[in-house]
């Protein structure tokens, strides 16, 4: 399976291992993604399910991220001076054109002096409220932000049942995601003339960001993927964006791809830094008021202040 499908399939397996839904439901979701029964069973076993019996899943929990894979060595982020919270700017729903049809997004214009513009890529749940809140937060800190709904062609996140979102993203594929992001940059540049563009993504969105920087869009000056995975042997030769990769210390699965990202970036002269935040795992920024989430967001702002100026 391709890298996107692998990431999304692992997320399903880990959510099942965390008790969010039954084994039967996990197999059903993986089947919708085109994963064979044999491959799906092996994946569930690798992610902690070696039971033949099925149990009823409790209410949704925050997924864990441990797999049997050995993690790459990490460099733990040092103390960061966090910033006082700013007043978020309410986002608005907008539409704009793409080669694939009409794209939906959540947009907020920068408050005060505009420092740059940022594309936001959502996690594997689609464009949901916590992503809209991130758009508002960036705008409050001086960066016009636009979160693209990568399920626009399916009618938007709200039209896709939650259990089918991963399959819809898988079926959409890498090429369509790239085209929709290019269209999103077009829209941001139209609304924010003569402004440099950054891109931030979370979980699945972080993986999308790692992929998109390989496209080499000349308008992209900086990228900050949060806990996304990188394919082995990835080619960053076209990339011109300064990359800040963000990782959680206990996120074993994602951290296992960290060396691949470093090896690919180190071949070229574009600035990069990979930071690992202690004591937290996959999806840690979901809890935005924790010490490490505040530190990571502050580091992102510092990165953008340097490379989007």
* Residue 244 included in any domain: yes
The dihedrals phi and psi of 194, each to the nearest 5 degrees, come to 55, 35
Average pLDDT, the chain: 88
CATH of the domain at 276: 3.40.50.1820
Model pTM? Answer: 0.87
The pair of structure tokens assigned to 98 is: 């793409």
pLDDT for residue 51: 40
212: tokens are: 């998109």
Write out pLDDT tens, residues 40-66: 898 888 887 434 333 322 223 333 333
Q: Are residues 281 and 204 in the same domain?
A: yes
Confirm if 75 and 274 have CB atoms less than 8 A apart.
yes
C-alpha distance from residue 291 to each of 124, 162, 279 (Å): 24, 30, 10
Please check whether residue 149 is in contact with residue 128, taking contact to mean a CB–CB distance below 8 angstroms.
no
Residues 192-239 pLDDT 10s: 999 999 999 999 999 999 999 999 999 999 999 999 999 999 999 999
Residue 70 above 70 pLDDT?
no
- Residue 197 in any domain: the answer is yes
Whether 191 is covered by a domain: the verdict is yes
- Taking Cα atoms as reference points, which of 12, 16, 17, 15 lies closest to residue 48? 17
pLDDT at 71 exceeding the cut of 80 = no
Angle between helices 3-17 and 165-191 (to 10 degrees): 120
Full domain range(s) for residue 159: 92-307
Q: In the predicted model, what is the mean pLDDT of residues 2-16?
A: 85
| CB distance 181 to 212 below 8 Å | yes
Give CA–CA dist 39/25, Å, rounded.
15
Residue 101, SS3?
strand
Which residue, 192, 100, 93, is CA-closest to 147?
Answer: 93
Q: Which residues of 107-144 are buried (b: 16+ CB within 10 A; e: fewer)?
A: bbbbbeebbbbbbbbbbbbbbbeebbebbbbbbbbbbb
Assess whether 223 and 113 both reside in one domain. yes
Report strand pairing: 143-148 vs 101-108.
Answer: antiparallel
């Amino acid at each position: 399976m391709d890298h996107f499908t692998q990431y999304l399939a692992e997320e399903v397996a880990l959510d099942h291992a965390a008790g969010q839904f039954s084994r039967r439901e996990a197999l059903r979701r993986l089947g919708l993604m085109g994963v064979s029964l044999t491959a799906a069973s092996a994946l569930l076993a690798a992610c902690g399910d070696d039971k033949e019996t099925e149990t009823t899943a409790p209410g949704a929990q925050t997924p864990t991220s441990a797999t049997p894979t050995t993690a790459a060595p990490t460099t733990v982020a040092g103390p960061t001076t966090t910033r006082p919270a700013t007043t978020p700017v309410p986002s608005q729903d907008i539409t704009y054109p793409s080669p694939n049809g009409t794209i939906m997004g959540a947009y907020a214009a920068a408050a005060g002096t505009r420092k740059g513009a940022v594309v936001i890529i959502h996690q594997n749940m689609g464009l949901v409220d916590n992503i809209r809140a991130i758009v508002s937060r960036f705008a409050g800190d001086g960066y016009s932000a636009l979160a693209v709904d990568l399920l626009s062609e399916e009618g938007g996140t709200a039209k896709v049942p939650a259990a089918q979102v991963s399959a819809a993203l898988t079926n959409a594929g890498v090429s369509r995601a790239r085209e929709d992001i290019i269209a999103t940059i077009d829209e941001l540049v139209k609304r924010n003339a003569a402004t440099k563009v950054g891109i931030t993504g979370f979980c699945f969105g972080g993986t999308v960001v790692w992929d998109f920087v390989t496209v080499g869009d000349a308008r992209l000056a900086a990228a900050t993927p949060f806990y996304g995975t990188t394919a082995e042997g990835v080619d960053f030769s076209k990339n011109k964006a300064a990359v800040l990769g963000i990782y959680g210390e206990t996120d074993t699965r994602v951290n296992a791809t960290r060396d691949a990202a470093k090896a690919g970036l180190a071949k070229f002269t574009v600035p990069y830094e990979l930071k690992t935040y202690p004591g937290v795992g996959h999806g840690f920024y979901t809890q935005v008021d924790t010490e490490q989430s505040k530190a990571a967001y502050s580091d992102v702002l510092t990165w953008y202040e340097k490379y989007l100026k």
